[in-house]
Structures are given as C-alpha cells and as structure tokens.
Amino acid sequence: MSVSYSGPARAARRMSWFLLFMVGVALTVTLYFVKTHAQSAKRDVRNLTKAIAAEEAAIRVLRAELAYLEGPVRLSELNESYLTLTPILPEREKSAQDIEVLFPLGGEGDK
C-alpha cells in the first residue's frame, strides 16, 4: 500500500524539501566561511608569535649590549683613557645650606 500525494499536499512536500535543501546549502556556505576565517586567524596568531619571539630575542641582545657598555670595568678604562675623572671626596661635598649661601635665590642683584 503506497501513499500518493496529489495537489496541494505534493506541492507542500516539494516546498519543504526545497527549503531543507536551501538551509543545508546556507549552512555549508557559512561553515566554509567560518572555517576559512579560523584558519586565517590561526595563521595570524602564528605570525604574531614568531614576531614576538624575534622581538624578545632582540631585546635580550640589546640588554646584553647595554650591560657590557655600562660595565664598571669598561667605564673605568674609558675614564682613564679619555676623561681622567676622580671620585668626589666626602669633604668636598656641600650641604643645601652651603649651596644657598654660595648661590642665593632672589638676592640683591635681582632687584
């Protein structure tokens, strides 16, 4: 015993199959775009991770160079070669009151 559809019932059945097909196509296209976007985002993350690693390596190199350039032994050698500066002795240090006496603020010469 088979059921045969006629007229409006058959048209409704065809319409429902067509709508289901269109929903399937729409879902497939949406899935494709989501997948493509996810792959693009993964690629961007990978590239940014590599760039961050390269920048961190460059920072480590710069810090090592700075440590060498600021090294006390190197600075002492440069001082002896070019500047011949000597340490400040404690008896040559001035207090705030001594500086104020030597360089008065708002003294008689300002009027």
**Could you state, in order of their start, the residue ranges of all structural domains in the chain?**
10-84
pLDDT tier at 18, thresholds 50, 70, 90: very high
Q: What is the pLDDT of residues 75-111, one digit of tens each?
A: 999 999 999 898 888 888 888 888 888 888 875 555 4
Q: What is the pLDDT of residues 39-74, one digit of tens each?
A: 999 999 999 999 999 999 999 999 999 999 999 999
Both tokens of residue 83? 């500047």
Both tokens of residue 21? 């097909």
Residue 26: the pLDDT is: 98
This prediction has a pTM of 0.54
Q: Is residue 25 helix, strand or coil? A: helix
First to last CA, the chain: 122
> What letter represents residue 109's amino acid?
G
Residue 1: the pLDDT is: 52
Measure Cα distances from 66 to 13, 41, 74, 77, 80 in Å: 79, 37, 12, 16, 20
